[in-house]
Amino acid sequence: MAERWFFALWPDPATAKVLAARARPLIPPGARAAHPLDLHLTLRFLGELSPDALRAAQSVGAGVRAAPLSLSLDQAGCFPRAAVLWCGPTRAPEALLALVTQLEQGLASQGFVPETRPYRPHLTLARRFHGRAARDWGPAVTWEARELVLAHGCPGQLPRYVAARRWPLAVAPRESDCPQMNAKNANKIKLLTSAPSPPPG
């Protein structure tokens, strides 16, 4: 099976451990908990890439200018059709939206087809989940994301994702790199955090 690529934010091991522990009592028998090392927040799904497209994606990742950003994972829920348990922010921070916008614009400049689906930030906690929407998530888990990651899936193995490239989020973006979320950009990077849906794959 061909590798499916995506840009993401990956929690540090301590945060991943907290998230896995918080999810454990919410996962019923029969559901499949995500491996702690697989927990991530997808920024942009890319799918299967040719060697040239992969090099272009790496160039986009290397060109990102962004500072570390703080995320408050304060809600959990489920996608009934996809049978997925997730957690995520009730409200996405502006820095996260600006990072997604920057990636989208960089990919468009490299010839990638624009993403038209609403952006719904979340981390998948479990699959084959057929319970009710989780309501007892507890206090928010705060996570400071410090790296941009380009990863791909490896079906049949655990952990199932491989972080192929990492770039530090250590540079504040220039004004030209972070356009305001005006009507035009809002149409490109639509946001829905109250009931997100899973990305493909």
- The dihedral region occupied by 190, where left means phi > 0, alpha psi between -120 and 50, and beta the remainder, is beta
Residue with more model confidence, 118 or 99:
99
pLDDT tens-digit series, residues 12-35:
999 999 999 999 999 999 999 999
pLDDT tens-digit series, residues 60-103:
999 999 999 999 999 999 988 899 999 999 999 999 999 999 99
49 pLDDT above the threshold of 80 = yes
Average pLDDT of span 104-120: 94
How far, in Å, CA of 145 to CA of 138, rounded? 21
Per-residue b or e along 178-201, where b marks 16 or more CB atoms closer than 10 Å to that residue's CB: beeeeeebeebbebebeebebbee
How far, in Å, CA of 199 to CA of 121, rounded? 10
pLDDT tens-digit series, residues 134-162:
667 889 999 999 999 999 999 888 899 99
188 pLDDT above the threshold of 80 = no
Give this prediction's pTM: 0.84
List of domains in the chain:
4-114+121-173 (3.90.1140.10)
> What six digits make up the tokens of 35?
């491996």
